[in-house]
Structure 1
Amino acid sequence: MFKILSYLSILFFFLTGISGFAQVAEISSPDGKLKLNIFSENGKALYNVSFLGKVMLEKSPLGLITNESDFSKNLKFIDSKKDKVSKNYTNEKIKKSQVSYAANTLTVNFTNADNFNIGIEFQVSDNNIAFRYEIQPMKDRLSAVVQLEITGYRFQSQTTTFLSPMMKPMMGFARTAPSYESGYKADAELGTKADYGYVFPSLFHVGNDGWILLSETGVNSLYCASHLDTTSEKNLYQVAYPNMAENNGFGSTGAAISLPGKTPWRTITIGDSLKPIIETTIPFDVVEPMYEPSQKYTFGKSTWSWILWQDNSMNYEDQSLFIDLASKLGYEYILIDALWDKNIGKERMKDLIQYAKSKNVEVLLWYNSNGAANDAPMGPRNKMSSSIERKKEMKWLKDIGVKGLKVDFFGGDKQETMRLYEDILSDANDFGLKIIFHGATLPRGWEVMYPNYAGSEAVLASEMLYFSEDVRKQEAFFATLHPFIRNTVGSMEFGGTFLNKYLTKSNKDKNKRYTTDGFQLATAVLFQNPVQMFGVMPNSLSDAPKFQLDFMKEVPTLWDETVFIDGYPGKYSVIARRHQNQWFVAGVNAENAVQKLTLKLPMLAGKSVRFINDDSEGETSEKIITVGKNGELKIEIQSKGGFVIH
């Protein structure tokens, strides 16, 4: 018996010794709550993540495969190095204008079967992990193609998902997909497959233990963008590169890099509540500006005729009406959408811009990104895809006083398309033009990287409310998701806030809204983008109540602080944002029942504020209320309704 016990003791010691040997490095966040462990087992590099002592991600794979060598297997740990990083930076285009970032860093180095080296750099801040690979030169090879990445995320079995599927390439309107415009399923089963994977960002609810948000940042012309896909293991998701069919089949699905070369950052945000998810700045913390701004860029609100008046409004007279509307609302811009080149023309556009200037309104113009990746017929076409044509066009735009462009219809996530995004931004900066992308991919740190970048759509946005009854019915559902997922990692040019009861030019007969006026006003705060095209129409000046127009004149598009107040994705969402010294609190309710809440608003404790809310009949009104001295406020949000405190 003693011999058996001794044998078991020795075996236990031996096994635990192997387990201990397998862990090669560890690092924690500055507050000690988030912990990352790195393992070397059976020739593979792995990691796991715990938060507040609870495992949030089980052992998950690391590595990639290039055309020169395989860094996914036969890996041998070499060494690791720890350090710290900190910085303070300002950026008016994101959810928080002044950011203080501090992280502990860890670099882990491995060698593979060919004796080539790869490093994995981690930055662990409070609630966030960012990591990327650095591939060293391979003998005389100073270039390589990264063909595949095996980076994975292995979840606990009780996890549910909040994911948006990648669109099938070369489908949809004029073969313009994928454009990150699919819907979401809330609390879906782990491992549910999608034909083309899921877009970043991706949200996961780890039962009672907390929340995880996955994304990537720092993608530029030197790499492809990636997305998330399921695997043969139900609880393991993996980074996936673009589908070959994207961009009309042109361009590689991998990434051509110079060596030594680094990949974009993979980001993981973790919390025991949704507060760190809403408030994270990790997409911006680990990137740097790629060039200096050629001038001071300004941002703000814009009118936009196309969203309800459609193509027929692209004429001199109707655009003059929307310039007048912008002037009366105090908006900085008008967006003149597709077909202006044909229906107004370049010569008359000069006169229209001068008219706008006389009204203190600046002009943004729409452009088709190119003609090679899709069949979108709207013009101007073939002006943005060629360097020579682009610079000619941008010089003309600068000369006539245009301040920015909305460039539409991109072909996917290949490196070839990432180059086009960057080329447009870089050239536009030379001519003092700000850029908004539409029909586009997720922005990945671009607010910091490109000073003239002014936002992207990359969401099932307001135009689909015009075209789809189903999307109108799900408007409240999606609105409660965006603050926690899409909009938390990057600016989101949604183009909503309709005051029309019917989403038509006539404001009657069809396309009835299923949400209240209070809901619409709330989205002006919930959805963040430095330039937002709002759906206020000329008829709103007479149809809408004065308090609604006053709010739409007052609401800013730039924020100094963003705070999570309450909510659950797909059910309801309440967020507070601060512009200078003024707080705006907004919430929406997607559920069929009234949402009764006690909000904790310490920033408004004891203060009198204006309160816009809906009654049980769906009528919206404004009144003055006083928040309790303890900062608590009891409210009710009607079904498909919303509120604003300002």
Structure 2
Amino acid sequence: MSPGGPRRTLLPALLTLLLSAALALTTLTAPARAAGPGGSWTVREPGGPRDAVTAVVRLHPADGTLTLTARKGATTVLEPSPLGVVTSAADLTAGLRPLSRHTRQVTERYSMTTGKQLRRTARMTETRFTFAGRDGALLGLVVRVADDGVAYRYVLPGSGTVTVERETSAFRVPGSARAWLTPYSPNYERLYAPATAADADSGAYAYPALFRVGDTYALLTESDVDGRYDASRLAHTQGDGTYEVRLADPAVTAAGPLATPWRTAVVGDLATVTESTLVDDLAPPSRITDTSWIRPGAVAWSWLDGFGAAQRSLAAQQRFVDLSAARGWPYTLVDDGWKTTDWMPELIAYARQRGVQVLLWVHYGDLDTAAERAEFLPRVKKWGAAGLKIDFMDSDSQERFRWYDDILRDTARHRLLVNFHGATLPKGIQRTWPHVMTLEAVYGAEQGTVPAAGLTALPYTRNTVGSMDYTPMGFQFGTRTVSDAAELALSVVFESGFQNFAGSVTAYRDRPELTRFLEQVPTVWDETRLLSGRPGESAAFARRHGDRWFLGAVHAGAAGTDRVPLDFLGGGRWLAEVVRDGEDGGLLRERHVVTRRDTLDVPRAEHGGFAGQVCRYVPGRDTCDRAVTRLPMTALTAGPARTEAEPGGAAGVTGRFGVEETGPATDVRLSLRAPEGWTVDGADPTAAELATGEGLSADWTVRVPRDVRPGGYDLAVRVEYRAPDRPGSGVLRVERPVRVFVPEPGAVYVSDLPFAAERNGWGPVERDMSNGERDPGDGGPLRLGGTVHDKGIGMHAAGEVVVELDGGYRRFTADVGVDDEVGGKGTVAFEVVGDGTTLLATEVLGGADPARRVDVDVTGVRRLTLRVLDGGDGVDSDHADWADARLTP
């Protein structure tokens, strides 16, 4: 979303990999020997066909500078581009002379837990050069060439520490090359836009950057970045095609010998670019031996259906657990806001009973020290959390990458899956740390309006280098820029180990064909094929999982017809099911029996697309769907959420339970639980079976004991039921609270009085609840320092409430402070004003401060004003409570 101490690097293991030939199957060595002042050396992809990818390293005799040129066949995609490093001890950019050159063939076979292809074979030609500078300092240059691109890195030998002040590395693209670029920001959340290499505005650009030279493309990025170095970006001056590599830090210091990240160019046609695994191929192998606990999957994500208020509500999060259970999705993600509650262990237990695992959002600042991680990670693991969404890193510095090293080691130790938001770009991290399911680093759906041209640029740029958490399906949020079928297609077009589906329960219910497809589509792939498309215009993909192919296409532009070649299929007949836009705006499912010689014609809406799946056809088969284990989607409501009753009095309580989807529910019983000593009048209804659309209801009268003490009391409406299609799951239980407040005799609460005037800095003033968000009644309990208050006023700086007292009261009392819902943030001050005179003004109170007791003489006051002021540092998170605010006659 973009809603420490010293660290040891992982350098020894890294250098073992980088500086040895252990991974080579064959080594071809040119003897180390002195050479002349200049030279030119070609590194060619293994097996080098006529249109092979080649890299040419040249040492220029006039000044001893180095350049690298990259070609695909006869096409030069990178013109001679400067190489070199300046350290605090030596200038290794000029005056160089060659010492040695060694070439080997590198073949690596490895498996992934995420991505466009789970099992991979990387074949590369590697040449390692050694050059000496004017003062004898050594520069190692390692160049690798594969059939999908070129990469190089520097190796600075020697022990001790080395400080890199800058690289002279650059990529020189022909100035007329077409470009798709995104301005640099440390969270990579900017749109891609077309330009030409030379005419692009001056400034900093983020990886990956895509260029087209003739019919050949070059995607520029980097790989294998960790805490020994930092990340870089591209700097461009309008007028030519040079894009310089600029480090995030003024200087980088690390233990020697130092191997820098790989400067990488994926080279080939668009199919090569989108299907390439070069960035992962260059990264270090997995640091996790046992990956059996790492399971990608679909996630129900509630943020775009209620934002922070939904995250603070146990009932709302239980509903999204139920959504996952009803759809067969393995995960639910609870985002920012849950840490101000105390019900997370209860939610995780509720989800576990339904076969769903819970992922938790956490701010980077809560995990940026070893002590914080040592406390937090074991705690959430003990609760049963499956993983974390970690947000707001917002930096590419070496310090931040050292933190990535630490958090990935620690989360792996606790077997917690990871989703990074507000994060850097994938740079091979998912190979090295396979429990990283996805990263944001994209202008995604939570921005509200992502143009169709922006969507169709991402498959060729950002998503080529690793999993991308775009969060599709948020139909209830923002402005729709593509059709429903195109949005559905993003579940295939966009690759992500966690697909955080952002729709509401209602949005899915209104689109049954879309929901049915999302129950089937996987999040990891055995094979990926680009079928057609151009950046910023369209993208059509086929991705295979097991023996099924899934299709997805999205377009920016006019309506038309997609013509999908099926030559990626094997022989024989296949069943193709396509979900597309209908003329009435709904979604249609169509079936075709096809062969690999056929072309699938699919009508397309404006800014539209389609999704589909293809499986082997056998007579009688009419769907490719596989069985999905579903629990009933149910709803339990209890009312009123809060009520008042005098000692010896009574309160009415209602309970309503219904089966909304994927029924039936069996052995159903609805009941009310009250405190000891209270009596409940009314029957507890039961049903042997409730089909979809059926329900139970009950009305109870609760009688309060005469001797009860004033305060708040919790009752609970409970339903118990079973899911017949899942006999091993046992009894499922849901509870909804009802709070009964018993007032103190004679007390007058300000929240019960009419307001003569009111204003608030964020949303409305709330009665008997915290400020919450922008809508009336969206706050949580008034909570100060962990204590819940049933009565009071929730406000936000700068705000005030005015009540007419007409001289009828002697004292005003309250507990004031920043509500717990903002998690320790916020700073406010409180004022009590009577008839224009300030009667009390508090010091500035912060979110971590204890509540302050307010006791003010209001004798004779006719007009009382309760005012909340900003603490002097802006109004962010300034949620202020007047808890238990009362007047004494």
Q: TM-score category by the smaller chain?
A: 0.7 to 0.9
State the distance in 2 between where 1:424 and 1:629 align. Answer: 47
The corresponding residue for 1:80 is 101
Q: Which moved more, 1:566-575 or 1:24-33?
A: 24-33
Distance 2:510 2:414 in 1: 40
Residues 51 and 514 of structure 1, relative CA distance in 2, 3 Å threshold: closer
**1:153 aligned to which of 162, 165, 171:** 171
| Per-residue deviation, 1:22 | 4.2
2:301 is equivalent to residue 304 of structure 1: yes
TM-superposed CA distance for 1:357, in Å, is 0.6
Counterpart check, 1:360 vs 2:355? yes
Alignment of 1:127-526 (within 5 A): 127-137=148-158, 142-167=160-185, 178-195=186-203, 197-206=204-213, 208-231=214-237, 234-242=240-248, 252-271=249-268, 273-289=269-285, 291-293=287-289, 296-314=293-311, 315-342=313-340, 344-345=341-342, 348-370=343-365, 383-465=366-448, 471-472=449-450, 474=451, 476-498=452-474, 500=475, 502-503=476-477, 511-526=478-493
Q: Where in structure 2 are the equivalents of 1:490-639 lying within 5 Å?
A: 490-498=466-474, 500=475, 502-503=476-477, 511-545=478-512, 547-594=513-560, 596-603=562-569, 606-615=573-582, 618-639=585-606
Q: Distance in 2 between matches of 1:232 and 1:158?
A: 12
Q: CA deviation at 1:276?
A: 0.6
Query: Using the alignment, how far apart are the partners of 1:305 and 1:642 within structure 2?
Result: 25
Segment of structure 1 superposing worse, 123-132 or 581-590: 123-132
Q: Is there any run of 5+ residues in structure 1 with no aligned partner, and where?
A: 1-19, 168-177, 243-251, 371-382, 466-470, 504-510
Contact 2:162 2:258 in 1 (8 A): no
Q: Letter of the aligned partner of 1:47 in structure 2?
A: L
* Cα pair distance change 1:233/1:118, threshold 3 Å: farther
Residues 562-586 of structure 1 deviation map (CA, whole Å, 9 limit, x = unaligned): 1111100000001111111110111
Q: State how far apart, in whole Å, the 1-side matches of 2:507 and 2:564 are.
A: 33
What is the identity, as a one-letter code, of the residue corresponding to 1:320? Q
Per-residue deviation, 1:189: 4.9
1:289-322 per-position Cα deviation (integer Å, ceiling 9, x unaligned): 3522566211211111112221111211111111
Structure 2 unaligned segments of length 5 or more: list them. 1-35, 614-889
SS at structure 2 position matched to 1:603: coil
User: Equivalent of 1:122, from 136, 143, 147?
Assistant: 143
Confirm or deny that 1:111 pairs with 2:107. no
CA deviation string 1:155-195 (max 9, x = no partner): 2232021011013xxxxxxxxxx310001112445342343
Q: How big is the shift at 1:544?
A: 1.8
- Contact 1:293–1:429 (8 Å) recurs in 2: no
1:58 is matched with 79
The 3-state SS of whatever aligns with 1:306 is coil
Inter-partner Cα distance in structure 2 for 1:514 and 1:214: 29
Describe the superposition over 1:350-395 as per-residue Cα deviations: whole angstroms up to 9, x where unpaired: 111111111111111110101xxxxxxxxxxxx2011011111111
- Cα–Cα, structure 1 residues 610 and 55, in superposed 2: closer, same or farther, change >3 Å? same
CA apart distance, 1:620? 2.4
Specify the code of the residue in structure 2 equivalent to 1:484. Y
Deviation of 1:39 (Å): 0.7
Q: What amino acid is the match of 1:158?
A: S
Structure-2 change in CA distance of 1:189 and 1:219 (3 Å): closer
Distance 2:166 2:504 in 1: 48
Shift of 1:598: 4.7
Kindly state the Cα deviation for residue 55 of structure 1 after the two structures are TM-superposed.
Answer: 1.9
Q: Which amino acid aligns with 1:487?
A: N
Matched residues in 2 for 1:617 and 1:515: separation? 15
Alignment CA distance shift 1:107-1:431 (3 Å): same
AA aligned opposite 1:190: A
Q: Deviations over 1:260-305 (max 9, x none)?
A: 110011111111x201101100111122235225662112111111
- Contact 1:75/1:111 (CA < 8 Å) preserved in 2? yes
Distance 2:584 2:251 in 1: 55
What SS does structure 2 have at the residue aligned with 1:425?
helix
Task: State the Cα distance separating 1:619 from its structure 2 match.
Answer: 3.7
Deviates more, 1:107-116 or 1:182-191: 182-191
Judging by fraction of residues, say which structure has more helix.
Answer: 1
The one-letter code matched in structure 1 to 2:135 is D
Please give the TM-score of this superposition, normalised by the length of structure 1. 0.85
SS in 1 for 2:294: coil
By relative contact order (CA 8 Å, sep 6+), the higher-ranking structure is: 1
- Quickly say closer, same or farther: Cα 1:620–1:125, change in 2 above 3 A: same
Q: Secondary structure at the match of 2:458?
A: coil
Contact 2:566–2:600 (CA<8 Å) still a contact in 1? yes
2:869 maps to: none
Contact 2:445 2:471 in 1 (8 A): yes
What is the Cα-based RMSD across aligned positions, in Å?
1.9
- Please say if residues 142 and 155 of structure 2, whose CA atoms lie closer than 8 Å, have aligned partners that are also in contact: yes
Report the AA paired with residue 122 of structure 1: V
CA 1:233–1:74: 2 relative to 1, 3 Å = farther
Q: 2:736 maps to which residue?
A: none
SS at match of 1:602: coil
* CA 1:596–1:331: 2 relative to 1, 3 Å: closer
Q: Percent identity?
A: 29
Paired residue for 1:248? Answer: none
Per-residue CA deviations over 1:76-112 (Å, capped at 9, x if unaligned) read: 1222111111021111312101111111111111111
For the residues of structure 2 that align with 1:184 and 1:360, how far apart are their CA atoms?
Answer: 39
